[in-house]
């Protein structure tokens, strides 16, 4: 399995092509370049890129026309359009016509790299198959070349999940996917989309927890020029871009009450207005939503609207925590050991029964994501083909004694309380956002340092997904040291 992502860059400016090749190095990225629209089309067909970066002005054809041709071939491939100054309106037309985003030239690499990462991530979710086991509970046969995420599981609760996916995918119902962190909510959302009638239409995902309210509103609904300070151009939101397609709202339980009301309206009326706009815009979007929060108690304490819950919850899929999946833990561990051993080029002969017992006894607060991380760390530490308990990461299992509640020491609590009160006294109305951001910055800085700036490993240790970590870093404008 190769996680290298292919970006096609179509531009007649050699500096842009070189810059992208330098900024997106192998083996994580493969950048293929074309200086004409004709070559761009040829490479799109040949290389099946994960995303495209496209200049609006090409020597032989306009970038706008080229977007249409790309969309004819595969509308799930996100295209980021590069425009010159004064062509913003054209870019907006392009976004309405299906471009993923646009960026105005000249730009700093720092401005475009998060956009490219987000396009590649969207493409992965839309196009990388999330395969269900066959009726016998076995993973489907597949050629080694097919990069796919197998959704494993043969315990009764997971068999129910597979049945539900099969039942709901082709209906156009909104689906609410519930489960603790790392239980596979995103992978289930992908499977539903990929088996749905909208599988060849646009798919976008948005992490509601990672974006502050004002930005989320404009991200979802777009905004008109001049609608707030800094809104110097009209922006098209996800509800407009995804017309006819699917929108995955991750971490929906973290949405603020104001946003919940706005979302409810678009779900009920199937229309919305851009921020600062008055023209109603019709939209037909299938919503998949996920959360690890307990929405029943959020409704009981008034922090989640029950009418929104019922709208989102035309169908619910609840993923069991890994500790309740019985023998699936051992089966999944074996699967990940052989998959990752192959990826890491390690010889693997067998897993000692004592190692398996330790794995089965663990409570897996981080669920499948934690299991994957432990298996990888164990393989990296292993110095022989039999996986004995000594190869398990040091301290494995001790986290069971840690508990999920953080004990706040006196000094820490006093400082936090003082800082909160200081902000209140200054009249702040963003106390939660400011303090959470400060805490997040420290957490991310320390975990990134400890993991040598490895995003996958850091997200694993933080217990959040890689896209969530990436969007938090973007929001905090955090750059690793
Ligand atoms: N049943 C499964 N079989 C195989 N792999 C799985 C399964 N469930 C989850 N995974 C893998 O575990 C990892 C975490 O899954 P995913 O991101 O879907 O979890 P999540 O519930 O969305 O997490 P979060 O709440 O933190 O966003 C992914 O690499 C995913 O492919």
Confidence at residue 131, expressed as pLDDT on a 0 to 100 scale = 80
Biggest CA pair distance of the chain: 68
Q: Whose CA is nearest to atom 8 of ligand 1?
A: 184
Q: Which helix (H) or strand (E) holds 316?
A: strand 315-318
* Cα(217)–Cα(259) distance, integer angstroms: 7
* Cα(457)–Cα(224) distance, integer angstroms: 40
Listed by start position, the domains of the chain span 5-124, 169-226+233-318, 323-391, 415-476
CATH code that applies to domain 5-124: 3.40.50.2300
Nearest ligand 1 atom to alpha carbon 151: 3
Pocket test for ligand 1, best of 133, 148, 150, 187 (most atoms within 8 A of CB): 187
Pocket test for ligand 1, best of 160, 175, 182, 194 (most atoms within 8 A of CB): 182
Pocket test for ligand 1, best of 368, 460, 465 (most atoms within 8 A of CB): 368
31, burial (CB in 10 Å: exposed 0-12, middle 13-18, buried 19+): buried
Confidence at residue 144, expressed as pLDDT on a 0 to 100 scale = 38
Q: CATH topology of 5-124 equal to that of 323-391?
A: no
Confidence at residue 117, expressed as pLDDT on a 0 to 100 scale = 87
Query: What is the per-residue DSSP string for 58-125?
Result: -SSSBHHHHHHHHHHH-TTS-EEEEE-TT-HHHHHHHHHTT-SEEEESS--HHHHHHHHHHHHHHHHH
How does pLDDT run along the chain (481 residues), one tens digit per residue?
A: 457 889 999 999 999 999 999 988 888 899 999 999 999 999 999 999 999 999 988 999 988 889 989 988 998 899 999 887 656 567 667 777 778 888 888 888 878 888 898 899 889 888 888 887 765 545 555 443 345 678 898 899 998 999 899 889 988 899 999 999 899 999 999 999 999 999 988 899 998 887 888 889 999 999 888 777 777 777 888 999 899 999 999 999 989 999 999 999 999 999 999 988 888 999 999 999 999 989 999 999 899 999 999 999 889 999 999 999 999 999 999 999 999 998 888 887 789 999 999 999 999 988 999 899 899 989 988 888 889 999 998 878 765 545 555 666 667 888 888 889 888 888 777 788 788 888 889 999 999 998 888 887 888 788 777 767 877 887 787 877 7
Beta-sheet pairing, 149-150 with 315-318? unpaired
Residue 271 near residue 280 (C-beta atoms within 8 A): yes
Beta bridge partners of 51: 7
Residue 374 near residue 322 (C-beta atoms within 8 A): no
Which positions ≥6 away from 250 have C-beta within 8 Å? 185, 186, 189, 205, 206, 207, 208, 209, 289, 290, 291, 467, 468
- CATH fold group of domain 323-391: Helicase, Ruva Protein; domain 3 (1.10.8)
CA 170 → CA 167, 173, 233, distances in Å? 7, 9, 38
Smallest CA-to-CA distance from 209 within 239, 247, 251 is with: 251
Is the pTM of the predicted complex or chain greater than 0.80? no
* Cα(18)–Cα(40) distance, integer angstroms: 16
Residue 381 near residue 346 (C-beta atoms within 8 A): no
Smallest CA-to-CA distance from 285 within 306, 309, 262, 269 is with: 269
Nearest ligand 1 atom to alpha carbon 319: 21
Three-state SS at 272: strand
Beta strand segments in 251-304, E: 271-272, 281-282, 286-291
Smallest CA-to-CA distance from 47 within 84, 7, 15 is with: 7
* Cα(435)–Cα(50) distance, integer angstroms: 37
Q: Whose CA is nearest to atom 5 of ligand 1?
A: 151
- CATH fold group of domain 415-476: Arc Repressor Mutant, subunit A (1.10.10)
- Find the residues whose C-beta lies inside 6 A of ligand 1: 149-153, 179, 181-187, 292, 368-369, 372, 464-465
Query: 3.30.70.1230, 3.40.50.300, 1.10.1060.10, 3.40.50.280: which CATH number matches 169-226+233-318?
Result: 3.40.50.300
């Amino acid at each position: 399995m190769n996680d290298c992502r292919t970006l096609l860059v179509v531009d007649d400016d050699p500096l842009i092509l070189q810059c992208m090749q330098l900024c997106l190095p192998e083996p994580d990225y493969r950048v293929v370049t074309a200086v004409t629209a004709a070559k761009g089309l040829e490479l799109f067909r040949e290389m099946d890129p994960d995303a495209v970066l496209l200049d609006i002005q090409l020597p032989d054809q306009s970038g706008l026309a080229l977007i249409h041709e790309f969309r004819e071939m595969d509308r799930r491939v996100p295209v980021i359009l590069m425009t010159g100054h004064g062509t913003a309106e054209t870019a907006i037309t392009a976004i309405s016509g299906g471009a993923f985003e646009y960026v105005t030239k000249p730009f700093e690499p720092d401005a475009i790299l998060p956009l490219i990462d987000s396009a590649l991530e969207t493409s992965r979710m839309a196009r990388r198959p999330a395969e269900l086991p066959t009726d016998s509970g076995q993973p489907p046969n597949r050629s080694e070349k097919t990069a796919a995420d197998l959704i494993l599981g043969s315990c009764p609760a997971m068999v129910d999940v597979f049945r539900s996916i099969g039942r709901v995918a082709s209906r156009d119902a909104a689906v609410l996917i519930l489960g603790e962190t790392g239980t596979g909510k995103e992978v289930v959302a992908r499977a539903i989309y990929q088996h749905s009638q909208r599988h060849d239409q646009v798919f976008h995902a948005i992490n509601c927890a990672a974006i502050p309210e004002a930005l989320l509103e404009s991200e979802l609904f777009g905004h008109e020029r001049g609608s707030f300070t800094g809104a110097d151009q009209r922006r098209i939101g996800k509800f407009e871009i995804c017309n006819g397609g699917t929108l995955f709202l991750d971490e929906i339980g973290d949405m603020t009450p104001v946003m919940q009301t706005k979302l409810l309206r678009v779900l009920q009326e199937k229309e919305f207005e851009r921020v600062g706009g008055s023209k109603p815009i019709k939209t037909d979007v299938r919503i998949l939503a996920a959360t690890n929060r307990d929405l029943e108690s959020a409704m009981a304490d008034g922090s989640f609207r029950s009418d929104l819950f019922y709208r989102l919850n035309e169908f619910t899929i609840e993923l069991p925590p890994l500790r309740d999946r019985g023998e699936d833990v051992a089966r999944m561990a074996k699967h990940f050991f052989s998959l990752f051993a192959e990826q890491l080029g390690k010889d693997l002969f067998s897993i000692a029964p004592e190692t398996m017992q330790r794995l089965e006894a663990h409570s897996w607060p981080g669920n499948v994501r934690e299991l994957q991380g432990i298996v990888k760390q164990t393989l990296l530490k292993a110095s022989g083909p039999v996986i004995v308990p000594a190869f398990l990461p040091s301290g494995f299992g001790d986290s069971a004694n840690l508990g999920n509640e953080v004990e706040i020491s006196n000094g820490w609590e006093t400082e936090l309380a003082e800082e909160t009160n200081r902000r209140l006294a200054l009249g702040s109305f963003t106390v939660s956002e400011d303090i959470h951001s400060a805490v997040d910055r420290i957490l991310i800085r320390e975990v990134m340092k400890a993991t040598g700036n490895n995003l996958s490993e850091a997200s694993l240790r933080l217990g959040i997904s890689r896209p969530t970590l990436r969007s938090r870093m973007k929001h905090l404008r955090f750059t690793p040291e």
